[in-house]
Structure 1
Amino acid sequence: MDIGNPIIENMANPRELERMFRKDPEGFKKAFSDAWRQNPDSQVLAVWHERLYFQETAGTNKAPWLRKDFLIMGLLAILAGVSTRILLHFAEQQAIAPINLVFGIIPFIAAYFLYNNTPKKNILYALASLFLISGFYLNMLPLEHKDSIILAYLHLPIFLWVLLGLAFTGNEYPKGSTRLAYLKFNGEFCILYASMAISGMLLTALTMQLFRFVGMDIEQFYFKNVVVFGAAALAVVASYLVSRNLKLAKNIAPYIAKIFSPLVLATLLVYLITVIWVGKNPLLDRNFLLAFNGILLSVLAIIIFSIIESGADETRNISDYINFALIVLALAIDSVALSAIVFRLSSYGISPNRLAVLGVNILIWANLIWIMISYMRFLKNKTGLSTIQDAVTKYLPVYGLWAAFVTFTFPLIF
């Protein structure tokens, strides 16, 4: 036995083997080959051999582009691109509202999820019916720029996003862990999509310039027939890559959460101090109130993203205290926004916009209270991280119900 091989020396110490692998994966593999050759009967090394050199037996002879799931993804991506281009044509003719473009993307991502994780028939029928009803109802609304109709347009994507979550979770939609996986998917999807979109923009700029060199301006044609098609198809491709456990987004997402949380906290503290210093009043300034609500939604997104990227780590660290401070800050912002909305309702009366903003702020306020109490208990070692994650995942259907209420009732009420 070669005592100079660190893997052989630590065969009885799993923790040290794991530490060695994480520190230098390539060096570990080289040392492992020699250790495995000398100890072919070791159960410990047999496990490591499978971990290092495991290959799927099913479909290994097929090239990646010939696998069924890849072909399905490609077909759905093409259909999404074509559908979005057709919908854009009708939107330009003012035959339909531009918000219809979401039906060129979300249903096809949902179809890929349903193919990957076939649910029970009642879920399948419910999803198909709700997508059809939403599309039919949306196009029954008059093409007018009334507040109630604009609110329906703004809330429809939220409702469809919740339906997409139902397609993602399938039969396991009641489970908090599955809903958490959907939220993680969204974070990783955004990172990956943005990365690929930036590459696409660079390619677009290069293509435009190349055609300008030969005296041709293809900007309008290229945007309508390539950029629109590519943006829609890319959404399906990104969904496929994330669901295939692409490591790029998964490795970057936790770092983004940890970097942006303290930056957002510091920026907001400076901003709020400045607002107080200059005497800006959200009770009287409508545009400032809208900006305040935009800040609130951004902070809520950062909080949720930070929580879901905490993983299963139960140890308390500085990131948790930063998240808790962000939650308290978001509650303060929401409380100011709520008081401003109530003031405007009492002063100027009820309108669709004021009622919609009031409802959203009440929902967010209640959710933040739940998250804050759960986080407080977590920081006091009374509960685990799952309690905080439950406060996020179990509340998601409430946002979907509110979005459905605004979308389907406001145009009728107002």
Structure 2
Amino acid sequence: MTVDSNSDLEQQIAEWRAYMRRRRELHQTDAEELEDHLRDRITELTSAGLHPDEAFLIAVKRMGSLDELSREFAREHSERLWKQLVLTGDDAATASTGKRRDLLIMIAFAAAAALAIKAPALFGVDMTDDDSGFYLRNMGLFALAPLAAYFAWRRGLKPGLIAVLAGLFALGAVAVNAYPMGMDTQTIVLSTIHLPIALWLVVGVAYTGGEWRSDRRRMDFIRFTGEWLIYFVLIALGGGVLTAFTVNIFSAIGIDAETFVGTWLVPCGAMAAIVVAAWLVEAKQSVIENMAPVLTRVFTPLFTVTLLVLLGAIAWTTNGIDVQRDVLIIFDLLLVVVLGLVLYSISARDPAAPPGVFDKLQLALVVAALLIDVLVLAAITGRITEFGFTANKTAALGENLVLLANLAWSAWLLLGFVRGRLPFGRMEHWQTRYLAVYAAWAWVVLLVFPPLFRFA
């Protein structure tokens, strides 16, 4: 099978998948299972000598009616929520029982996450007197280990894969705790920032059920990341209101609740919210998916205008970019947000839709971000040439090179799509496969940078 045949086949499957996702009676996981069956049939037919296009058409025809498949899947998966839409009576009651069980399991994992953040206090490590920075260094572990465990249970991971994931978490724990890094060093700051990034992608392996090599499952994790962030922010905003009311209400009757809020309510609530937000994404997918196109269409034009104005101001004033650490962090965050908008729009877009005005706007956003990244890299390179390498400047250089490669190829793929020369699926495949680059860089900074720069 040629590369072009593979590309055309993936484009056809993407169109079929987009149609499937518009069927409200099918849950996302069920659509994925149907797609797996479709791919198996296509593989059998192509192995028998059929052309991929012929194999696709025959496989789809043999899959039968979507409504019939919905009922068949409902009978075989009696605990699925969407079963209530195609079956009634005792079957619906069984599905409701499954929902209650999932809720109780989620509560158990959220409670474990809340208690885990307080466990070090039993060994004399107090959160209010943390001179060694123990909580700061290990926050990524406290936050993401329960979430990975939750998905390991939910996806029914095999013991071997669970052992690998646990080993990666242990490796991260050793890196941030065994290295002799002081609180005033650059390497401790870099490790603290990159540990959550590295472990979040480990969570991604658990989320995909071990199918990390699948482009489709990686895109599902990208979609989950954006949706999880929305829910977590909403929970955090609600928690902030609750905290404010708690402090002021108890203050009105002469009780100081700030200590309780600072040492129990906020840290325990934040850790529990990470698991709760993940559960909400899983339970309310059909609701949150409608927010994706709205958010991208609102913020993409705003960020495009902001970046174009910034480039215009740089050209008009001829002022270079200040490469102080705080400024670099702001610019890197800006570029990360741009990539987040690109990823989120890809996850929400119908791959079969033709290029439109929004795609051209997104191309302008990526090109503007690419130009800003080039300016940042020029400033970093000049700084390194003048003062030499440090952990911060080297990390900034590497991260901007990683972003540069992604932005440059994304711009090329978007240009090809807008001009009608490349399928949109190529963009989706590029972004999902590039996650491995982010993971590799995060682990390099976490494991290699501290000894490389002598823990300074």
Residue 311 to residue 183, structure 1, CA distance change in 2 (3 Å): farther
Compare 67-76 and 323-332 and name the one that shifted more: 67-76
1:68-83 matched pairs, under 5 angstroms: 68-83=101-116
Q: Is 1:93 aligned to residue 130 of structure 2?
A: yes
Residue 110 of structure 1 contacts residue 167 of structure 1 at CA under 8 Å; is this kept in 2? yes
What code does the residue aligned with 1:270 have? V
Residue 217 to residue 55, structure 1, CA distance change in 2 (3 Å): farther
Q: Is 1:372 aligned to residue 411 of structure 2?
A: yes
Residues 360-380 of structure 1, C-alpha deviation per residue, up to 9 Å, x if partnerless? 111111111221121122112
2:254 is aligned to 215
Number of aligned positions between the proteins: 374
1:235 is aligned to 274
1:306-385 matched pairs, under 5 angstroms: 306-385=345-424
Residue 114 of structure 2 contacts residue 272 of structure 2 at CA under 8 Å; is this kept in 1? yes
Residues 140-178 of structure 1, C-alpha deviation per residue, up to 9 Å, x if partnerless? 123512112321221111111111111111231101110
1:10 is aligned to none
TM-score (norm 1): 0.82
1:258-273 matched pairs, under 5 angstroms: 258-273=297-312
Instruction: Identify the match of residue 151 of structure 2 among 113, 116, 121.
Output: 113
How far did residue 263 of structure 1 move? 0.8
Residue 123 of structure 1 contacts residue 170 of structure 1 at CA under 8 Å; is this kept in 2? no
1:54 is aligned to 86
In the alignment, the residues of structure 2 paired with residue 266 and residue 69 of structure 1 have an alpha-carbon distance, to the nearest angstrom, of 44
How far did residue 47 of structure 1 move? 6.9
Residues 110-153 of structure 1, C-alpha deviation per residue, up to 9 Å, x if partnerless? 11111121234432221111111211231112351211232122
Residue 142 to residue 58, structure 1, CA distance change in 2 (3 Å): farther
RMSD: 2.8
In the alignment, the residues of structure 2 paired with residue 348 and residue 326 of structure 1 have an alpha-carbon distance, to the nearest angstrom, of 33
In the alignment, the residues of structure 1 paired with residue 85 and residue 115 of structure 2 have an alpha-carbon distance, to the nearest angstrom, of 41
In the alignment, the residues of structure 1 paired with residue 137 and residue 161 of structure 2 have an alpha-carbon distance, to the nearest angstrom, of 25
Residues 250-291 of structure 1, C-alpha deviation per residue, up to 9 Å, x if partnerless? 221220011100011112222332344344322666654443
In the alignment, the residues of structure 1 paired with residue 70 and residue 109 of structure 2 have an alpha-carbon distance, to the nearest angstrom, of 38
1:13 is aligned to none
How far did residue 353 of structure 1 move? 1.2
In the alignment, the residues of structure 2 paired with residue 289 and residue 234 of structure 1 have an alpha-carbon distance, to the nearest angstrom, of 30
**Secondary structure in 1 aligned to 2:372?**
helix
Residue 114 of structure 1 contacts residue 167 of structure 1 at CA under 8 Å; is this kept in 2? yes
1:141 is aligned to 179
Between structure 1 and structure 2, the one with the greater Rg is 1
Residue 49 to residue 182, structure 1, CA distance change in 2 (3 Å): closer
Unaligned runs of 5+ in 2: 1-22, 25-64, 72-81
Compare 297-306 and 68-77 and name the one that shifted more: 297-306
What code does the residue aligned with 2:165 have? L
Residue 106 of structure 1 contacts residue 160 of structure 1 at CA under 8 Å; is this kept in 2? yes
**Secondary structure in 2 aligned to 1:173?**
coil
How far did residue 83 of structure 1 move? 0.9
In the alignment, the residues of structure 2 paired with residue 289 and residue 239 of structure 1 have an alpha-carbon distance, to the nearest angstrom, of 31
2:78 is aligned to none
1:64-213 matched pairs, under 5 angstroms: 67-87=100-120, 90-91=126-127, 92-95=129-132, 96-144=134-182, 145-213=184-252
Residue 322 of structure 2 contacts residue 379 of structure 2 at CA under 8 Å; is this kept in 1? yes
What code does the residue aligned with 1:403 have? A
Residues 317-354 of structure 1, C-alpha deviation per residue, up to 9 Å, x if partnerless? 21111111111011101111111111111111111111
**Secondary structure in 1 aligned to 2:290?**
helix
2:445 is aligned to 406
Residue 124 to residue 295, structure 1, CA distance change in 2 (3 Å): same
In the alignment, the residues of structure 1 paired with residue 347 and residue 417 of structure 2 have an alpha-carbon distance, to the nearest angstrom, of 15
Residue 47 to residue 167, structure 1, CA distance change in 2 (3 Å): closer
Residue 289 of structure 2 contacts residue 348 of structure 2 at CA under 8 Å; is this kept in 1? no
In the alignment, the residues of structure 1 paired with residue 424 and residue 362 of structure 2 have an alpha-carbon distance, to the nearest angstrom, of 13
